[in-house]
């Protein structure tokens, strides 16, 4: 029986795989429970998949799931979570920034305190760059405002969840949720284990600024429609301002001192055009989300899975309309 599944998303991680295997395997072997390690190759362009395949020859617990193309960190996590067999599932980064030794502690806390979720909380991030620390700090502050104070701060995707949580996640219709926000919002009993964020063992970050911004926007739009309300607030502010301007305009007209007023008109037109476009763009972002949800295309495609899955996993689908 598989007691523990360890899900590791990997995108172009050939440089860290030897170090990862060397450090992870002794930890898991010493746990004395049945386990599987699911390496999810997120469409890597380098030798990630073939390296994992090589290691599988002498490490039978290692399993390889290949996505057909690069689908992103959260999609790779979804693939691993949905296909895992373990009673407990840990997700961990490939680059050894999350120390594998912490898994033992997470499992102990979960079993002893009978918890469904154990977060790995980054106590010390001094090995991250100043930029990463500041942007991450900003992200977690914003998310706590949106999701609520229950959200563990500085808890990324290094966490342990029980089968009950995985079952709930599998039934969620969302294509690719932002797990670090979704899981706390489910309300399962949870605990935390602090760890020190280490330096990336090898290779480079796979999270350029572009992906960080995309994650922040996904996190916001998935959890709140507040940006849409911006249009309402801006509209009300503009209405109040225009009342004042109307009175001013009438007074000036009554005094007979009407001036050409080209500059003020020009600026007002520019400002309102810009504000309207921003609001329209925000609206479009949400409409696009509705559209994508309706299309219900899977967020990733499984190319291969080294373990034989007993039942094919069908992504959330609507019941097909019956033809008369
Ligand atoms: N990752 C992935 N697909 C992507 C980007 C990243 O599977 O498109 C994986 C990556 O291989 C690593 C984890 O997500 O295991 C976290 O990425 P990284 O360490 O580069 O992010 P950082 O620690 O710099 O935030
Ligand atoms: Mg990393």
Selection from 158-162, 219-223, 267-271 with the highest mean pLDDT: 158-162
| pTM listed for this prediction | 0.84
> How far, in Å, from the CA of 12 to the mean position of ligand 1?
9
State what percent of residues in the chain have pLDDT above 70. 95
**Mapping DSSP to helix (H, G, I), strand (E, B) and coil, where does residue 306 land?**
coil
User: Looking at ligand 1, which atom is closest to the CA of residue 203?
Assistant: 20
Q: What is the pLDDT of residue 322?
A: 52
Helix/strand/coil for 209: helix
Determine the atom of ligand 1 nearest the C-alpha atom of 40: 7
Q: Would strands 155-162 and 117-124 be described as parallel, antiparallel, or unpaired?
A: antiparallel
Q: State the pLDDT confidence band at 207, using cuts at 50, 70 and 90.
A: confident
**pLDDT over threshold 90, residue 235:** no
Q: Is the CB of 72 under 6 A from ligand 1?
A: yes
- Which residue has the CA at smallest separation from atom 8 of ligand 1? 72
User: Worst-scoring range by mean pLDDT, 11-20, 137-146, 166-175, 313-322?
Assistant: 313-322
Computed on alpha carbons and rounded to an integer, the radius of gyration of the chain in Å comes to 25
Q: Which atom of ligand 1 is nearest to the CA of 76?
A: 7
The verdict on the CB of residue 293 being under 6 Å from ligand 1 is no
Q: What is the DSSP letter of 128?
A: S
pLDDT-derived band at 318 (thresholds 50, 70, 90) equals: low
Probe residue for ligand 1, chosen from 93, 202, 210 as the CB with the greatest number of ligand atoms within 8 Å: 93
pLDDT of residue 40: 97
Q: What is the DSSP track for 202-264?
A: SS--S--HHHHHHHHHHHHHHH--HHHHHHHHHHHHHHHHHHHHHHHHHHHHHTT-----HHH
What average pLDDT does range 125-141 have in this prediction? 84
Environment of ion ligand 2 (residues, CB < 5 A): 93, 95, 97
pLDDT (tens digit per residue) in 56-94: 999 999 999 999 999 999 999 999 999 999 999 999 999
Tokens 């029986």 correspond to 1
């Amino acid at each position: 029986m598989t007691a523990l599944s360890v899900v590791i998303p990997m995108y172009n991680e050939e440089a860290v795989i030897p170090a990862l295997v060397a450090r992870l395997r002794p930890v898991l072997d010493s746990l004395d429970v049945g386990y599987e390690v699911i390496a999810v190759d997120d469409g890597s362009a380098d030798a990630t998949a073939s390296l994992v395949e090589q290691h599988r020859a002498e490490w039978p617990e290692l399993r390889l799931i290949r996505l057909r193309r690069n689908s992103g960190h959260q999609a790779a996590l979804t693939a691993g979570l949905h296909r895992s067999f373990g009673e407990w599932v840990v997700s961990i980064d490939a680059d050894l920034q999350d120390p594998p030794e912490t898994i033992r502690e997470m499992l102990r806390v979960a079993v002893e305190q009978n918890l469904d979720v154990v977060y790995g909380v980054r106590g010390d991030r001094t090995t991250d760059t100043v930029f990463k620390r500041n942007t991450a700090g900003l992200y977690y502050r914003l998310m706590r405002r949106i999701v609520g104070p229950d959200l563990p701060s500085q808890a990324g995707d290094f966490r342990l969840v029980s089968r009950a949580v995985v079952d709930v996640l599998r039934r969620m219709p969302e294509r690719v949720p932002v797990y670090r926000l979704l899981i706390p919002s489910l309300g399962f009993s949870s605990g935390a284990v602090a760890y020190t964020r280490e330096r990336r063992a090898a290779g480079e970050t796979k999270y350029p600024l572009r992906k960080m911004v995309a994650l922040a926007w996904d996190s916001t739009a998935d959890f709140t429609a507040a940006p849409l309300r911006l249009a309402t607030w801006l509209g009300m502010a503009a209405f109040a301002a225009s009342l004042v301007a109307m009175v001013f305009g009438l007074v000036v007209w009554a005094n007979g001192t009407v001036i050409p007023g080209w500059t003020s008109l020009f600026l007002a037109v520019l400002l309102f055009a810009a504000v309207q476009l921003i609001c329209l763009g925000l609206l479009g972002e949400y409409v696009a989300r509705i559209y994508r949800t309706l299309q219900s295309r899977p967020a990733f495609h499984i190319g291969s899975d080294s373990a034989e899955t007993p039942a094919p996993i069908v992504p959330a689908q609507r019941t097909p309309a019956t033809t008369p």
